[in-house]
Amino acid sequence: MILPILHYPDVRLRTVAKPVETVDDTIKTLVKDMFETMYQAPGIGLAATQIDHHQRIIVIDISDEKNQPLCLINPEIIEKDGEIDWEEGCLSVPDYYQCVKRANHIKVRALNQQGKTFEIEADELLGVCIQHEIDHLDGILFIDHLSKLKQKRLLEKTKKVIKY
């Protein structure tokens, strides 16, 4: 099922997600729906927060063919090093792209869709994407990493579009 994606400046995007207690059929269905929503959007990553489900779940697929789905439940960065500037965009902040500094290399521990613990190392696009989506789970948007002036301009532009 395709789920609606929240858009900035919706305050629900600032909600800190709660850990998943048990990977049950409800969580598995949510993960499936998240992949469908992300692929349809189209995007390369989606956090449950973005669809107004405040549990620590992210889905990612950076492959061109969209055939390498990655699900991280309760993801936790356990190592990071280096620094990289990467131009980021976000399904919750449509048509807006800016360079953000992130760790270049990360190691993450999470649960998969079957509830099994695993670790993954990532750098460049995958590493940036994982960090971006984990930020969502903490109520942080990529625009929070930008200067106050850029944030103010984006908010003004967004308010004009949605006509507050």
Summarize pLDDT for 55-83 with one digit per residue, the tens: 999 999 999 999 999 999 999 999 999 99
Residues annotated as part of the active site: 133
pTM over 0.75: yes
Residue 8 DSSP symbol: T
Cβ pair 101, 84 in contact under 8 A: yes
Whether 162 is in a domain gets the answer no
Cβ pair 115, 22 in contact under 8 A: yes
Based on the structure, what is the number of domains in the chain? 1
Cβ pair 100, 75 in contact under 8 A: no
Whether 1 is in a domain gets the answer no
Rounded CA gap, 124 and 59, in Å?
17
- Residue 33, domain CATH: 3.90.45.10
Whether 163 is in a domain gets the answer no
Q: Are strands 117-123 and 84-90 parallel, antiparallel or unpaired?
A: unpaired
pLDDT tens per residue, range 15-57: 999 999 999 999 999 999 999 999 999 999 999 999 999 999 9
- Rounded-to-10 torsion of CA 8, 91, 93, 124: 130
Whether 160 is in a domain gets the answer no
Whether 80 is in a domain gets the answer yes
Residue 57: enclosing H or E segment and its boundaries? strand 57-60
Whether 126 is in a domain gets the answer yes
